[in-house]
Structure 1
Amino acid sequence: MAMESYNIIIVGAGMAGLCAAVEATSNNVRVLILEKENEIGGSSLLSGRYMAFADTDIQRQEGIRDSTEILVNDMLSIGEGSNERALVEAYGKHQQETYQWLVQNGVQFHAVQAVSGHSVPRGHQITPKQAIERLFMLAESNSNVTFILNADVKRLRKNKDGKVSEVLYRKDGKEFTAIAEDGVIIASGGFSRSETLLNAFAPQLKGALRIGGNGNLGDGIKLAWEQGAWMRDFPFLKGTYGFHPSADGPRKSQGLVFYKGAIIINEEAKRFVNESISYKSIGTKALEQPNGITYQIWDQAIMNESVHGDALYDFKKLLDLGLIEHANSLNELARKINVPENNLNETIQTYNIDVNKGLDRHFGRSTLTHNFGKLKTISEGPFYGMRTTVAMLATYAGIAVDEHARVLNPYHEPINGLYAAGESVGGFHGAGYMTGSSLGKAAIFGRIAVRTALANIPVTK
């Protein structure tokens, strides 16, 4: 059987793969998208619904002053200087253009919130299903684009010139090979469902829930690895804090009340962390607590900050689902969540005194999240408590790329014909994570990968 030939082959149909596909449609080239699952979207459908953009019309309408420079500085700060500066600066360079491109292509942005790692509110909320379906419709309606679902990519091969161009995949029990003339783009997500890779690179996360996309087994990372790709950020693998223990893939049951003013305690009713830091860093500390048990604690004033329909801040929905305990007094709440009454009262009293004095003596908390928001006391009953745990939703470590989305070998040289974007990429986040930057980088670098591949930039060694 003759092998089908395309200009670009994209592995994975989540945010990165779909943005790459739509970008390719404006260049009148033939594109093949191979998706292992029986539906599109991957882990993008499970995301927290935020994309990180700066100085947008939504921010300006809310009177929020932001800039690309502040955005980039926040990312580098959260990454503790371990992220690849060129990648972060490329994000900054293309972020406004990509935001406008998404809007023009029908992706709907609803509101803006201050979330993890932001100095100002810049978490632009989308409905992932709407965004994914819109991008899919745009790509699929183009006669030059072919989607194949249930297509499990097994290996990549180089041609006689040393360029990655052959894609071997399996569908319905049969083996197929497709040819990419200009480039192969890996956009197949991370490995949050791979016990083999998690045990090898992040054994400290054994106690975290596994709620990533079902297809997130690290396939794309292994494909690139075989072709000589270098890897980045594995030492920084962390789980995400904020999930109720009942969470699974379809039901995220997530609430980040601590970014609205709640505190976090262990089973001894003691605080153990600065609640304003990245929820991934909080997750590391939470897994170290006795029996892995922690709670978020807050009062009615903070409960009133609930945002209807928000994936991270709809606390009233979690209450209605029976995932939050509430009581008229701290003693009653302590009994309900089975922590020492005296300890809980002492912890709250100490915290409130510190907040009123403007100094958290124990953990140095001075804001709600990163550099944004004024601390609040916990003093207005009724009081609330939610048992909270850590989950592996996304891995944020993997293939080394440059600012052009070219996959790099250990000598920082591009591998001819191979590109990567989205969660499969490492080096961007570094030691921390800013909410919204995952979907943001997927869209930005998905488009960059297509542009680079079609430009046919010579690879020299």
Structure 2
Amino acid sequence: MGSTKSHSTGVSRRSFITGAAAASVLAGLSLAGCAPQGEQTASAAGNGTNTKWDEECDVLVVGSGYTGLAAALEAKNAGADVKIIEKTARVGGNSALAAGDFAVCNSSVQEREGVQDSVEQYVDDMMVAGLYLNDKEKCRVIAEKSNETWEWTIEMGATWAKNDDGDYFLYPYGGHTVMRSIAQGEGGGANVTGPFAEKLKEMGVEVETKRMLTELVKDENGRVIGAIVHDKPSGNDTESGTPVAIKANKAVVLAAGGFGRDLDFRQAQDPRLDDTVDCTNQEGATAESLRASVAAGAMAVHTDWIQLLPFMSPDEQGYGVAAFYTDGQASYAPTLDVATGKRIVNELTDRKRYADAILETGQPCVQITCKKALYDGGSGLESAIKAGITTEFASIEEAAEHYGMPVDAVKEEIARYNTFVTNKVDEDFGKPIPDDAQTIDEAPFYGVRLWPKVHHCMGGVKTDVDCRVLDMNLQVIPGLYAAGEAVGGIHGACRLGSCATADCLVNGRIAGQNAANEQTV
């Protein structure tokens, strides 16, 4: 959920997994050693009455990121006995590591800044980025509930960045047509996950770490009544650890995120994403909960739509520090093809179009700027230089030569870009030029290489607007809820930056509320 902070703002696939896409999902499942339906264990096949339970709760929440913590808070507030498990040793999942900005519609921050927004415009922006493959009804729920959910996070102790006057920051993200994203401060998503976890602790619910979901248990009527969890597993090994059977008297909520770190599974969905493509996610972002869901009858959708974060550096591993520098510069600096020295894209387009444009060049591209043109006075620059991903140059010629680019072409392209900055009109790609943008023409100059990394999985289980998981017949699986990145179909082909925070928190709350009120008779 990395951000694309700035100061300015075809394809068709079937929604459900069929044909070749279905084969892809099944291939991914087989890589994990999941047996076909007829060969599942008795509990997964629907004989949970024979299960000897080791622990018990009303609502079992799987995952401790934005989604899981929001679900647990709401379920507990509704009076349920809640147990929340986390596979890794650290609370917060990817959410705690994310930039954490939140796309909020009709907020008090927009009102203060005079920004006109609407639910329809929010939904339209999501649909355009998602190539209209999105579940529009669920997009609408996110838009409608984004503001009340943001305000709720503050009530729960979360903090958001403020300026010297005590006002919240508002940023326009690539792909959004208006400014609606409320910025996180230093610490990113941990400013939400930390307070949420503390709030739960005050309520008597502590996140149980090093517990991995491996199987969902159903009764003879097809209701999910619990799960098999492995205590203290070795990394992502589903055969390791001690199996524990946890009964969920009301429901199980899947909030385990995506599978970006599951190399075999993701490559089965998109063969381009082999081990040469890095990933921004924490090491626990693998597919075992999705496999368990499908084994229990859940429909999986859009698993081959995997978002790449475009403004990452190939010169560091994982999320690193690049995004905290390069995404801010996207409004102000051009991204150049090394072979031609020319721009390749509107740097403020959505992530899919930006990433695809870089990939089409066949090698990392280069972002070049100068000190006076830096976004936010060079926020993140010092860390980027220290990490060795950004280099300072005395001239544009020196920068071009360093990256093996045609010098004259680079000089010509930056000179042309400077006219766009001066005239506030991008004649080549239509990028909105910020009012405070400066021409790139005074030393020192700075360069950084960009190459996309796996960032967010748009695919997962199919749910309805109440966050109930659906089976292959589009019927509700009783006792099973899911939200956040574990769910497929909401974002279509491409998730807009800062909309994941909205998705996770809005739907996490809905899942928790409904799970606590699940009727079991």
TM-score calculated relative to the size of structure 2: 0.80
* Secondary structure of 1:205's aligned partner: coil
* 1:91-125 per-position Cα deviation (integer Å, ceiling 9, x unaligned): 12211111111011111111222222222222222
Instruction: Report the counterpart of residue 200 of structure 1 in structure 2.
Output: 268
- Is 1:72–2:133 an aligned residue pair? no
Q: CA RMSD in A?
A: 2.4
Q: Describe how 1:197-346 pairs up with structure 2 within 5 A.
A: 197-206=265-274, 207-249=276-318, 251-254=320-323, 255-268=326-339, 269-290=341-362, 292-306=363-377, 308=379, 314-319=380-385, 321-346=387-412
The percent of aligned pairs where both chains have the same amino acid is 25
Task: State the Cα distance separating 1:182 from its structure 2 match.
Answer: 1.4
CA contact (8 A) 1:78 1:432 kept: yes
Deviation at 1:2, TM superposition (A): 4.9
Q: Which runs of 4+ in 1 moved over 6 A?
A: none
Other-structure match for 2:250: 182
CA drift at 1:49: 2.1
CA deviation profile, 1:218-245 (whole Å, cap 9, x unmatched): 1221121112222222343231111122
Give the partner amino acid of 2:181. Answer: G
1:216 alignment partner, SS class:
coil
Residues 1:149 and 2:209 aligned together: yes
Distance 1:246 1:23 in 2: 42
**C-alpha deviations, 1:165-215, integer Å up to 9, x for none?**
120011143221111121111101111111111110112233421231111
Q: Which residue of structure 1 aligns with residue 432 of structure 2?
A: 367
Name the structure 2 match of 1:138: 199
Q: Which has the higher strand share?
A: 1
8 Å contact 2:281–2:319 — kept in the other structure?
A: no
Q: Deviations over 1:269-326 (max 9, x none)?
A: 2222232211232112212323x22111223343153464xxxxx3354245443223
Give, in angstroms, the shift of residue 152 of structure 1: 1.4
Amino acid at match of 2:389: L
Partner of 1:394, secondary structure, is strand
SS of residue in 2 equivalent to 1:243: coil
User: Measured at CA, do residues 57 and 428 of structure 1 come closer, stay the same or move farther in structure 2, by a change above 3 Å?
Assistant: same
Retained in 2: the 8 A contact 1:419–1:449? yes
SS at structure 1 position matched to 2:311: strand
Alignment length (residue pairs): 447
CA, structure 1 residues 432+374, in 2 after alignment: closer, same or farther (shift >3 Å)? farther
Query: In 1, are the aligned partners of 2:170 and 2:179 still within 8 Å (CA)?
Result: yes
Deviation at 1:359, TM superposition (A): 6.0
Which residues of 2 match residues 42-81 of structure 1 at below 5 A?
42-81=93-132
Structure 2: stretches of 5+ with no match in the other structure:
1-51, 162-168, 233-240
Quick one: structure 1 residues 304 and 214, their matched pair in 2 at CA, closer, same or farther if it must change by over 3 Å?
closer
- Tell me whether 1:26 sits opposite 2:87 in the alignment: no
Shift of 1:63: 3.8
| Between 330-339 and 213-222, the greater mean CA deviation after superposition | 330-339
**Residue type of the alignment partner of 1:365:** G
- TM-score when scaled to structure 1? 0.90
Q: Which runs of 5+ in 1 are unaligned?
A: 309-313
Write out per-residue CA displacement over residues 305-357 of structure 1, whole angstroms, 9 at most, x where no aligned residue. 3464xxxxx33542454432233432122122221101212222344456667
CA distance in 2, matches of 1:374, 1:202: 40
One-letter amino acid of the structure 2 residue matched with residue 80 of structure 1: L
State the partner residue of 1:311: none
